[in-house]
Amino acid sequence: MSAATDTALGLTESTSVGARIAKTVIYSLLFIVFAGPLLALLVSSFNHVSDPTQLSIIPRSPTLDNFKIAFDHGVLKYLANSFFVVGFGLLLQVAVSVLAGYALARKIFPGMTLVMVAILATMMLPEEILALPLTLVLADVPLVHLNLMGTLAGMIVPLGAWAFSILVMTEFMKDVPRELEEAARIDGAGEFRIFAQIVLPLCKPALGVIGVFGFTMIWDQYLLPLLVATNSDSYTLPLALRTLRIDPIVTPGVVMAASLLALLPSVTVFLFFQRSFARGLTAGALKG
């Protein structure tokens, strides 16, 4: 098969000087448009940027002052809050999803279809639309009568209900061979042991997908934390960016420094787990 038919455009085939220059220009432009603004953010967070017009990608007299001022405004505490929410939120989400996925993939029981449809239907409920009544539930959780408003727990607990992760786990667990389960059962393993020691260890790729996706989703959340955080003590870092910007003595350079801290975790996760990411992206889009 020739290179010309490897891709839709067959770009790799063209080796003339003109075509190569055109390709270089196009790819450079692409890089500048999509990565350029982020480079400007990176550079500006280490520059003295006292007004918005000084944002640039040319480093001038690098400094850590922006970060110092950001830390003085409690950015480290907000970062810690963010990590707390993402840590426990992800733990809860993954635990709930693997348990539910196990039941849906490996058991046959009356009402199974109904449960599956009910869970899948929530994928059509945009979180933002649900946020308003959700806060009323959080203010007085029925039966247990807890008020979770203003607490990090109020941002964490709703994260447990995430249909995408259950869907991915269910699909994957269906493929674990029955024979392994049978053998363990004959050897006297109980239900939970089969789940934890036979099925779950074979689902690492799916765990990667829901872990990476869960992380970026939770890290990106804005509206629900905004509603739940009734005082600045429970702000996550994305929420704090706005209050930082509104503060008249805070310069754009400081906002960019805080922004850099806010984007590093999710960008790092993406760069390290690109394969899981690509896999989940197509799974989510092509199924959901």
Partner 1 sequence: MSVREAEARPAGREPQAAAEGARRTPSRRLGRNRRAAGKWWVPWLFLAPALILFAYFKFLPMIQAISMSVQEVRPYLGNLYVGGANYSEILSSEGFRSATWNTIVLAVGQTAGSMILGFGLALLVEGQTRKLTFIRSAAFLPVVVPIAVVAELWRIMYHPTGDGLLNQILGLVGLGPSGFINDPDTSLASIVVTGIWRGAPYDMMIFLAGLAGIDRGLYEAAVVDGASTKQRILHVTLPGLRPVFAILFVLAAVRGFRAFTEVFLLTNGGPNGSTEVLMTLIYKLGFEQNRLGIASAGAVLLFLATLVLTVCVQLLRRKKVA
Of residues 94, 155, 209, 254, which one binds partner 1 by CB under 8 A? 209
**Direct distance between the N- and C-terminal alpha carbons of the chain, in angstroms, rounded to an integer:** 34
Scan residues 9-48 and list those touching partner 1 (CB under 8 A).
Answer: 9-12, 26-27, 30-31, 33-35, 37-38, 40-41
Least distance between partner 1 and beta carbon 68 (Å) = 19
H or E segment and range at residue 58: none
Of residues 47, 66, 81, 97, which one binds partner 1 by CB under 8 A? 97
Query: Which amino acid type is present at position 201?
Result: P
Scan residues 267-286 and list those touching partner 1 (CB under 8 A).
Answer: 267, 269-271, 274, 278-283, 285-286
Scan residues 117-176 and list those touching partner 1 (CB under 8 A).
Answer: 118-119, 122, 124-130, 132-134, 136-137, 141-142, 157-158, 160-161, 166, 168, 171-172, 175-176
Window contacting partner 1 (CB under 8 A); options: 2-10, 58-66, 68-76, 83-91: 2-10
H or E segment and range at residue 82: helix 75-106
Scan residues 63-92 and list those touching partner 1 (CB under 8 A).
Answer: none
Nearer to partner 1, 71 or 284 (CB): 284
The whole-angstrom separation of Cα 67 and Cα 72 is 9
Tell me the HSE value of 167 on the side-chain side, using a 13 A CA sphere: 19
Least distance between partner 1 and beta carbon 87 (Å) = 16
Please write down the HEC assignment for all residues of 238-285. HHHHHHHHHCCCCCHHHHHHHHHHHHHHHHHHHHHCHHHHHHHHHHHH
Tokens at 30, concatenated: 């692409």
